Each structure stands twice: as structure tokens, then as C-alpha cells.
């Protein structure tokens, strides 16, 4: 027994009692059983894998539909299924995993009864969250222009454009205001810069009020540990760019001749907010004012989608979801470039109100209300 394989000896079933363990079959030596043992080991791994899959499936639900019997089997019957019988349940296992993902991403829809756990996946494609694009977006900062995932936008700005690079992040709730300042003279011509990042947390301080928990957007991923509590927040970027009024010309050759970056009378600052795609529109109120609050400019706009073009020369003349500051307004708000311009941002969610159909029912006139016509008496 000196040449017996230790692995085979370890796999032998142990008998009860104090007597010596007797193997059920003759153990091969470690030199002539290698291929057989590898096959036996592979079979054991497959069985353990299937048992684990069974356990995962049992965690999701206690009842399963047997496709061959066309009925629901209980837990005891399911545990007696062999390796060949487990194959029909693999598809159902994938469906159950998809149910768990949907329940994590859309708990409000499951609680409200809009989506049921046993509902087929094909019927769930009508949910707004499933209609959101998963296509990566470009970083709107011109100097960066990296391709980032829609779930890594907040992580990208916290890690790569943090406070060391001048981009600060602050949490904001619905109806609350966020204040920041910027120097108009520090903006380079035709260079998109991010003035700040807003982590929108919804209408309240509770976890269930966060946008991702309510099915408004996807959860954030790869966040730094200090900002790990922003995983269900919506990242809203405050963007700005110094451009020219001539930048919207269709003729690029004429534009290059007319545009002069050093001409202060042609300059214009475009400010807009951008975020990933959401299931409903997010609106904001942006107000820019001077230090003494004697002059201000305010606008209500919609947060732009990062999947759209972030070049202000393309959208500023046709899109109302931005605020444009001309030369005169810049001089007034910055006091001739001697002070910084202050900005106040408020985020609001407007629920669409259904139009009430007014049915004007014409009530039948009663005989008393109807005019009575009398014939004049005939004169004889």
C-alpha cells in the first residue's frame, strides 16, 4: 500500500466504527491511474457544479416548472434530479438570474406591481429602464475625451478629474441649491471644461429616494471609498465653453476667416448641464449673478444627454437647454473681469400631468325648459 495514491485514498468513503478502513475497490498506483483519476475528478467537479447551480436556483424560488411533466415540482423532487434532468432547468436558471438583476435595479417596479417576478422577460422590455442605452460615452472635457461607461461617469470624474484638477463634486437634493464660482478669463477658446459635478440624490435623504433606486438611471460603479454612498446618485456635469458667435456658421472656411479668438467682442460663454440618459427628463434652474447680486441671468433648462454632441458650436443656436452669456453680460457679471462669476443650480423633477379630458355632456332639456309655442287664435 506504499505506492497507493493519496488522492484516491482520500476520496475513499470512510466507514463508521473503530475498525480499520477497508477500501471498496482496489486502489491503483499513482503511476497507472493518472488518466482515470483525472476523468473521475472531472466528473466530480461537474457534479459539484451542478449541485451548486441547483442551490442557486433554489435560492431564487422554491417551485420550478418541469418542462417534460408540464407541472410544478417541489424541492424534494428537484433534489432527486440527475445530471441529465438538470439540463432543462439551465434556461430557467438564467431567467431567474435576470429576475434578480431586475429586482436590484428596479425594486420600486416590483413593489408597485408593475413587474412581477414570474413575468416573462420578453414582456419586461417595455419598462423604461430597459430602454436606456448601454453605449459608452465620450468624456465631455476636451482635454480628456476618454471613452467611459455610462455607469462609470461619476467614478471617472472623481478619480481622474477630482479636486486636484479643479473639478469638485457636491451632493444636491431636489429643490436645494448648489453654489459655485468660476473665472471667465480662465476659459480657453473652444475648450469644454467642467465647472463642477453634482451628485443628485433625489427628493429626500432616504436610500429609496435616490434616482437609481427609483429606476431613473443605472447604478454607479467603481466609486472611490469616500464616495461609496453615491452609488445610487445621478451624476450631473456642469459644463462651460468659451466660443464665438461666428462658430455656428455652416461654412467652415468662412468661419475660420471671421473667428478671431483674441477679439473680445466676439466671445461668448455657453453653460449647460449634461448627464447620462434617464427614464424621464431632468430639469434645472441655472442662475448666474455677480458678487453683489445686483445683476443676474437665469434660465430653466433640461439636462442634456451625454450621448448627444457636447460641442456648443453645434447646439447653442438651435437648443434652448443652455445659457448664453454675451460680451456685455460677461463684463457686467464679472465687473470687467475683476471678480468671479457666481452660479446657482437647482435640480427639479417635474412629473408629467395627464391631460384631463373634459366631456361636455349635453343634458336633454326638460319639457319645462323647452320654449312653448302657442298658435294664435283664429279670428272668425
Do the beta carbons of residue 291 and residue 342 sit within 8 Å?
yes
Q: What is the pLDDT of residue 85?
A: 54
Residue 41 is assigned to a structural domain of this protein: no
User: Is residue 303 domain-resident?
Assistant: yes
pLDDT for residue 67: 42
State the average pLDDT over residues 358-364.
46
Per-residue pLDDT at 298: 94
Place of cell 476667416: 257
**275 pLDDT above the threshold of 50:** yes
- What cell numbers appear for 192 in the block? 469644454
Which phi and psi (to 5°) does residue 45 adopt? -65, -40
Q: Which three cell numbers stand for residue 246?
A: 461666428
Q: Pick the more confident residue, 344 or 188.
A: 344
* Angle at alpha carbon of residue 344, lines to 342 and 346, rounded to 5°: 170
For residue 226, the enclosing domain spans: 133-348
Cβ–Cβ under 8 Å, residues 153 and 146: no
> Does residue 272 sit within a domain?
yes
pLDDT digits (tens, 9 = 90+) for 11-54: 555 555 555 555 555 555 555 556 666 777 777 887 777 777 66
Cβ atoms < 10 Å from Cβ of 99? 20
- Whether 116 maps to a domain, the answer reads no
> So what's the pLDDT on residue 133?
85
For the chain, percent of residues with pLDDT exceeding 70: 57
Residue 326: its H or E element: none
Res. 330 pLDDT band, cuts 50 70 90: very high
CATH value at residue 318 = 2.60.210.10
* pLDDT single digits (tens) 223-259: 988 888 999 999 999 999 998 877 666 556 666 666 6
Residue-level pLDDT at 323? 94
> Residue 356: what pLDDT?
53
Weakest-pLDDT range from 64-73, 80-89, 191-200, 276-285: 64-73
Give residue 192's pLDDT band: very low, low, confident or very high (50, 70, 90).
very high
pLDDT digits (tens, 9 = 90+) for 367-379: 444 545 445 455 5
Residue 207 lies in a domain: yes
Q: Would residue 166 count as lying in a domain?
A: yes
Pick the range with the lowest mean pLDDT from 100-104, 191-195, 209-213, 220-224. Answer: 100-104
Q: Is 194 a domain residue?
A: yes
In a domain, 61, yes or no: no
Whole-angstrom CA distances from 246 to 252, 256, 260 are 10, 9, 9
Q: What is the pLDDT of residue 349?
A: 84
Q: Is the pTM of this model over 0.85?
A: no
First to last CA, the chain: 146
Which pLDDT band holds residue 10 (cuts at 50, 70, 90)? low
Average of per-residue pLDDT values in the chain: 74
For residue 61, the tally of other CB atoms under 10 A from its CB is 15
Nearest CA to 343 out of 277, 281, 272 is that of 272
What's the number of domains the chain is made of?
Answer: 1
Pick the more confident residue, 319 or 130. Answer: 319
Q: How far is Cα 261 from Cα 190, in angstroms, rounded to an integer?
A: 9
Which of 314, 313, 233, 302 is closest to 272 using CA atoms?
302
Confidence of residue 194 (pLDDT cuts 50, 70, 90): very high
Q: What is the pLDDT of residues 92-144, one digit of tens each?
A: 544 444 455 455 545 554 455 444 444 444 444 446 777 888 889 999 999 98
Amino acid at each position: 500500500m506504499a505506492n497507493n495514491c493519496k488522492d484516491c485514498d482520500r476520496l475513499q468513503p470512510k466507514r463508521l466504527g473503530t475498525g480499520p478502513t477497508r477500501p471498496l475497490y482496489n486502489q491503483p498506483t499513482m503511476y497507472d491511474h493518472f488518466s482515470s483519476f483525472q476523468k473521475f475528478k472531472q466528473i466530480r467537479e461537474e457534479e459539484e457544479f451542478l449541485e451548486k447551480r441547483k442551490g442557486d436556483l433554489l435560492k431564487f424560488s422554491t417551485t420550478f416548472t418541469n418542462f417534460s411533466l408540464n407541472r410544478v415540482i417541489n424541492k424534494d423532487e428537484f433534489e432527486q434530479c440527475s445530471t441529465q434532468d438538470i439540463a432543462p432547468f439551465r434556461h430557467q436558471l438564467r431567467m431567474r438570474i435576470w429576475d434578480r438583476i431586475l429586482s436590484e435595479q428596479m425594486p420600486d417596479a416590483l413593489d408597485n406591481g408593475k413587474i412581477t417576478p414570474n413575468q416573462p422577460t420578453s414582456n419586461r422590455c417595455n419598462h423604461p429602464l430597459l430602454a436606456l442605452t448601454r453605449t459608452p460615452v465620450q468624456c465631455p472635457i476636451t482635454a480628456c475625451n476618454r471613452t467611459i461607461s455610462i455607469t462609470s461617469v461619476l467614478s471617472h470624474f472623481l478619480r481622474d478629474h477630482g479636486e486636484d484638477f479643479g473639478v469638485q463634486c457636491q451632493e444636491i437634493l431636489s429643490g436645494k441649491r448648489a453654489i459655485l464660482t468660476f473665472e471667465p478669463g480662465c476659459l480657453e477658446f473652444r475648450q469644454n471644461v467642467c465647472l463642477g459635478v453634482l451628485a443628485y440624490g433625489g427628493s429626500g435623504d432616504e436610500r429609496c429616494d435616490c434616482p437609481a433606486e427609483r429606476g431613473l438611471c443605472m447604478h454607479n460603479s467603481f466609486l472611490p471609498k469616500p464616495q461609496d454612498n453615491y452609488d445610487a446618485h445621478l451624476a450631473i456635469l456642469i459644463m462651460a465653453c468659451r466660443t464665438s458667435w461666428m462658430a455656428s456658421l455652416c461654412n467652415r472656411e468662412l468661419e475660420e476667416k471671421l473667428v478671431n479668438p483674441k477679439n473680445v467682442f466676439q466671445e461668448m460663454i455657453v453653460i449647460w448641464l449634461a448627464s447620462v440618459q434617464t427614464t424621464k427628463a431632468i430639469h434645472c434652474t441655472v442662475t448666474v449673478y455677480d458678487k453683489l447680486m445686483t445683476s443676474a441671468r437665469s434660465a430653466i433648462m433640461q439636462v442634456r444627454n451625454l450621448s448627444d454632441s457636447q460641442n456648443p458650436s453645434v447646439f447653442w443656436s438651435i437648443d434652448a437647454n443652455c445659457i448664453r452669456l454675451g460680451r456685455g453680460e460677461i463684463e457686467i457679471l464679472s465687473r470687467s473681469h475683476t471678480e468671479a462669476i457666481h452660479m446657482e443650480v437647482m435640480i427639479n423633477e417635474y412629473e408629467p400631468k395627464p391631460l384631463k379630458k373634459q366631456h361636455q355632456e349635453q343634458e336633454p332639456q326638460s319639457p319645462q325648459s323647452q320654449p312653448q309655442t302657442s298658435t294664435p287664435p283664429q279670428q272668425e
